[in-house]
Amino acid sequence: MTGQRSRAATRTRAEGGLPGLVAALMGLTIAAVLALPAAAQQDGETIIRSHGYSFYGDLSYPPDYEHFDYVNPDAPKGGEISLYAPGTFDSMNPYSRKGRAGALSWMVYESLLGETLTSGAPLPADTYGEMYGLLAESLEYDAGKTWVIFHMRPEARFADGHPVTAEDVVFSHNLFLEQGLPSYAQAVSRRVTGAEALDEHRVKFTFKKGISRRSLIDQVGSTPVFPKHWFEANDARLDEPRLEAAPGSGPYQLHDYEVNRRIVYKRNPDYWGADLPINRGRHNFDSIRIEYFADDSAAFEAFKAGEYTFRSETNSKKWATAYDFPAVDEGSVKLEELPDGTPPTPSGIVFNLGREKLQDKRVRRAIALAYNFEWTNESLQYGLFEQRHSFVQDTPLQAEGKPEGAELALLESLGDVVPEAMLTEPAVRAHESSPRRLNDRRNLRRAMRLLDAAGWRVDDKGLRRNADGETLTIDFPIPSSSSATLGAVVESFVSNLKLMGIDANYESIDPSQFTMRNRERDYDLVFDSYAAFLEAGTGLMQRYGSSEAEFSLFNPAGLASPMVDAIINKALDAQTRQEERVALTALDRALRFERFMVPVWYNDDNWVAYWDIYDHPETLPPYALGALDFWWYDAEAAETLKEAGAL
């Protein structure tokens, strides 16, 4: 198997060895030349003008940059890349609160400041916390960041030929406030006080005073821009599912679909921004095809048969044992383990804190002890994963040991919202278990003592009941499209819960039903994810804060912690990268202390398998695999495989 060198390389994250990550966090430069925005005086006010945006004002690429360092600027255009998606879809509107949106359906829209094509992460992928102009050729803002004016590119066009104007930007901003997710709308409306089209190609946003300057300019700069004329002509809403897609201004547009079978996006041959420096070496495929399958087993068989050609593997059993089919042996299919410099996604078993029985931290600690990572990893996952402890695992932000120095001072300054244990005890880490047997008796005994102390005692039938005679029940749904490995992990976890006397049940349900239950928080436990963070932003409040905890889809636990809120506010108020780093380390410590998630496994590589018709830059950027963004099609290799009958 190829790619062993990359596995060793990515482990250097734990030692602070990724230059892109450390530079972003420590304020070091990545490029040889630091491109500082220009500042000037206007009516006694300092005005900053720039081709991009960073909160601290430092940009790695100068105004005259030709392309991002990690792309191949001469990458050939052409061919198709195809991948798979699990389950079903019934809408091509990715912003509706109803239905299941088709994969990558949001990809057709662009924003004022550019984002990675398929992940929505800021560009470029070799830095963190920087954004460069896309629909906007430049921006200007006051030193206090109370307003920003974006100067838009007059040549920008939607796929139907209509120009992209400042009116479209204002319309899109208001559409999200009126019809978008409530958690998003509330968060933005509290910070953005106005959106105004100054003329056809200049749009101004004003921001509330007396709040953090974080996530203001970058927030409005990254909002997707929709065609106002299309929405009005079709009487369309943002919050309704529909299969007709509004034309976007992006390089790819919806070409064809068959509900629950496939979606095809094609590169717009008249794409207005093809020659921009931000796009050079990117968007290299003529088409992107997504094939839908009911489950991962069917999808894997289809990949072996060449029905689709690129696969990001997340199933350890398959990666360890299933890639021994003839196409791999013959070299027609390549296997690579490619570096992943981002913090691993904080995935795990999430508690619904809206359930009264789960509000007692002792109960949550007891339930967590039912998860045996060591046995699961060795017996079900071929020893290929690492145990996750942190929300920013293997980065310089990860909290270690007891708080000291500036971090301790920050926590002490917050007063009574910080428990004494946070100040005196080491950062919470995932518990250790025996790899020899699933039901680690030592941990089960600890768990049962915790349940006893919480008032859930065993009755004469072996079930846990409280003083009111109520049974401790746990409902744990998972989508039927999940891998067999995840089902086995959940089943083994639930079996340990039953040994404790908990009436635990997991059920595999239809993906659409699971989506609905997930949105309505109709579960006790759910396998879900939060977002890792490398910088402060008001998105932290959306994900981890109290204000939208009751309904935010980004906060599946419903976490509402005054301590977490206070630390996030400290991070948002940080004036230097060092202050920001201290606050984010404290945030990691606090999130782990709240124990609202059972941390599971992570992989420090990208496992990818693909038919040998693609190529990629020799050195990948730390923050994006970029298969759909800056890889390219090798027409000669594809023809060789076709002549050999492999494809």
Chain segment 569-600, per-residue pLDDT in tens: 999 999 899 999 999 999 999 999 999 999 99
| 246 pLDDT higher than 60 | yes
Q: Of 10-24, 287-301, 396-410, 439-453, where does mean pLDDT reach its minimum?
A: 10-24
Give the residue with greater pLDDT, 9 vs 205.
Answer: 205
For residue 12, name the pLDDT band (cuts at 50, 70, 90).
very low
N- to C-terminal Cα separation, the chain? 22
CA–CA dist 521, 93 (Å, integer): 22
**What pLDDT is stored for residue 123 in this prediction?**
82
Residue 360 tokens read as 């007692």
DSSP state of 319: I
**What pLDDT is stored for residue 24 in this prediction?**
40
For residue 375, name the pLDDT band (cuts at 50, 70, 90).
very high
- Which CA distances in Å does 353 have to 515, 550, 594, 599? 19, 10, 11, 16
| 1 pLDDT higher than 70 | no
Per the CB < 8 A criterion, the answer to whether 385 and 377 are in contact is yes
DSSP E strands: which ranges in 459-581?
A: 464-465, 473-479, 503-509, 525-529
Q: What mean pLDDT is predicted for residues 34-43?
A: 67
Q: What percent of the chain has pLDDT over 90?
A: 81
Q: What mean pLDDT is predicted for residues 168-178?
A: 97
Q: What mean pLDDT is predicted for residues 213-233?
A: 96
Helix 405-413, helix 577-594: angle, nearest 10: 70
Q: Which CATH architecture has domain 31-65+88-250?
A: 3-Layer(aba) Sandwich (3.40)
| 6 pLDDT higher than 90 | no
- Paired residues of 211 in beta bridges: none
Residue 459 tokens read as 């009755």
The values of phi and psi at residue 186, to 5°, are: -65, -45
For residue 99, name the pLDDT band (cuts at 50, 70, 90).
confident
| 29 pLDDT higher than 50 | no
DSSP E strands: which ranges in 406-490?
A: 457-458, 464-465, 473-479
Task: Give, for 589, the enclosing helix (H) or strand (E).
Answer: helix 577-594
Q: What percent of the chain has pLDDT over 70?
A: 94
- Within 8 A by CB and 6+ apart from 537, the residues are 214, 215, 218, 572
**What pLDDT is stored for residue 98 in this prediction?**
84
Q: Of 84-88, 143-147, 419-423, 596-600, where does mean pLDDT reach its minimum?
A: 84-88
- Which CA distances in Å does 495 have to 360, 389, 438, 474, 597? 22, 23, 9, 12, 19
User: Which fold, 345-389+429-529?
Assistant: Dipeptide-binding Protein; domain 3 (3.10.105)
CA–CA dist 264, 158 (Å, integer): 19
Which residue in 226, 292, 288 sits closest to 253, CA to CA?
A: 288
Residue 127 tokens read as 């830095």
DSSP E strands: which ranges in 491-547?
A: 503-509, 525-529
How far out from the chain centre does Cα 344 lie? 10
**What pLDDT is stored for residue 120 in this prediction?**
65
Q: What mean pLDDT is predicted for residues 459-487?
A: 94
State pLDDT tens for residues 453-463.
999 999 999 99
What DSSP string describes 601-646?
EE-SEEEEEEESSEE--SS--TT---TTTT-EE-HHHHHHHHHTT-
Alpha-helix runs per DSSP H in 28-141: none
Give burial (CB, 10 Å; 0-12/13-18/19+) of 361: middle
Q: What mean pLDDT is predicted for residues 475-484?
A: 91
Which residue in 628, 627, 617 sits closest to 68, CA to CA?
A: 617
How many other C-beta atoms are found inside a 10 Å radius of the C-beta of residue 572? 19
Per the CB < 8 A criterion, the answer to whether 281 and 616 are in contact is no
CA–CA dist 237, 174 (Å, integer): 12
**What pLDDT is stored for residue 552 in this prediction?**
87
DSSP E strands: which ranges in 35-176?
A: 38-42, 45-50, 52-54, 80-86, 130-132, 136-142, 147-152
Give the residue with greater pLDDT, 35 vs 521.
Answer: 521
**What pLDDT is stored for residue 186 in this prediction?**
85
How do beta strands 80-86 and 287-293 pair? parallel
- Paired residues of 252 in beta bridges: 267
**What pLDDT is stored for residue 286 in this prediction?**
98
Per the CB < 8 A criterion, the answer to whether 288 and 80 are in contact is yes
Q: What mean pLDDT is predicted for residues 612-619?
A: 96
Domain-by-domain residue ranges, the chain? 31-65+88-250, 345-389+429-529, 399-427+533-595
Residue 386 tokens read as 């690492």
Mean of the per-residue pLDDT values of the chain: 91
**What pLDDT is stored for residue 548 in this prediction?**
85
Radius of gyration of the chain (CA): 25
**What pLDDT is stored for residue 19 in this prediction?**
38
Model's pTM, two decimal places?
0.83
Per the CB < 8 A criterion, the answer to whether 391 and 591 are in contact is yes
